Structure formats: C-alpha cells, structure tokens
Amino acid sequence: FGRDYLPATTLRPYKERGVASWYGRKFHSQKTATGETYDMYAMTAAHPTLPLPSYAKVTNVATGRSIVVRVNDRGPFHPGRVIDLSYAAAYRLGIAQRGSGEVEVESIVPDKPFQTALVAPLPPIAATDNAPAQPMPIGREAAGFVVQLGAFANNANAQGFVGQLSNQTALVGVEAKVHQSEGLFRVVLGPYATRDDARRAAERLRESLGLDSTVRAQ
C-alpha cells in the first residue's frame, strides 16, 4: 500500500491517534499472526507494529470510553487506520454500528500505570430508589433472569472481561460472573427474580456506566 511497516520486537511506550475499524465473521475461526484462532467475540485487535502478543488501551475520542485489548494479529494496512478491533471490542467501544471511528491507541507497558475500565472513571454513585434490585443468591440451579454483558467462546476471555468490568460494576453494587450455557461463556449479572427486575438493572447500568446489555432467561 505504498508504506513500510516495521513491527516492534520489544514493548515500549506508544501512543497514536487515528481511525479504528473492525473485522468480524469473515475472519472468525481463522488463524491470526500469532497462530491463535481469531475469536470475534474476544477482546482482541490487530495492529501493524505493536509486539505480538501485547496489550493496548483504545479510547473512543468522541465519547472518552476506553477498552483494553490483546493485540494478537497484524493490520490494518490502510493509510489513516491505526488498529483493527474484534467485533466484541468495537461493540464495547461503540463503533461497531458505524464500522469505524476515531480512537487513540496506547501501548500498555507493565511498569506504567494504566486505567483498565471500560469507561472513564466515575465518582461513587449514591444509593437511590432507582438502584437495581439485588440479585438472588447464586446457585447452580438458580432460576430467573440475568443481565448479559457479553458472550465469549472461551472461559479465559470471559474471565478477563469480568476483570475489566469489576471496578465499574462495583460502583452500583453488583458483581459480574461467568455463566456457561449453549456452548458460550456468558458474562452476566444476576439472576433476578423477574424480567422487570433484570430490565431495571440493565437500564441502571446503561445510565450510570454506559454499559450495553441484554436480558435473558437463566
């Protein structure tokens, strides 16, 4: 494409602003540059030069929302584009619908502090009458409804997503966990006794933390 890309062999500070795009179903289950299988539902990305594998913080310039992705592939090789996100990463960042968006990409260096929250840090939220209903006790056979925040093909990615969410969900007094069903590892809150309780919890998350979710039967 008329430009040379020299991949880095060591991890060092890096920050760049440009356009992020995403790649999905066409490449799902194909091999990445690291030899891993691409999972469009995992929080991963492709970058032209960052070391493989490594981690990067990606911030949506328009909204300030940030995510952390594992860089395990090469690309995009187009002028102006700085990173290719997985579908899950693009969805969490809020650019999946548009197909692309302006972002800032920053490498995560182990000895450099970084913010892992999915959204900008928020002040503690005071308890109100609109707070989500408390989940029922968790049990293997618990019934009811859950608020799903994501679904992943493997448990490691799901657990990593839970770790990214923990600081934010704690602000509204709930805790995400991984529930396996229908061949997927689902990151959920709950269960809640009724669908209305779950819907109220989902709405509270959206209003307070900017987290999109779906309600489903347990």
Asked whether residue 125 is domain-assigned, the answer is no
Asked whether residue 165 is domain-assigned, the answer is yes
In DSSP notation, 100-117 reads EEEEEEEE--TTS-----
Residue in the structure block whose two tokens are 């584009």: 81
Q: Which residues of the chain have pLDDT under 70?
A: 1-9, 110-143, 167-173, 208-210
Asked whether residue 180 is domain-assigned, the answer is yes
User: Domain holding 211: CATH number?
Assistant: 3.30.70.1070
Distances (CA, A) of 28 to 39, 78, 166, 197: 6, 21, 28, 35
Residue 150 is predicted with a pLDDT of 85
H-type alpha helices, the chain: 87-93, 155-170, 195-209
Tens digits of per-residue pLDDT, 187-218?
898 888 889 988 988 888 777 666 778 899 87
Q: Are both 93 and 175 inside the same structural domain? A: no
Residue in the structure block whose two tokens are 């959204």: 119
Read off the pTM: 0.53
Q: Are both 81 and 149 inside the same structural domain? A: no
Query: Into how many domains does the chain fold?
Result: 2
Task: Look up the domain containing 188 and give its range.
Answer: 145-217
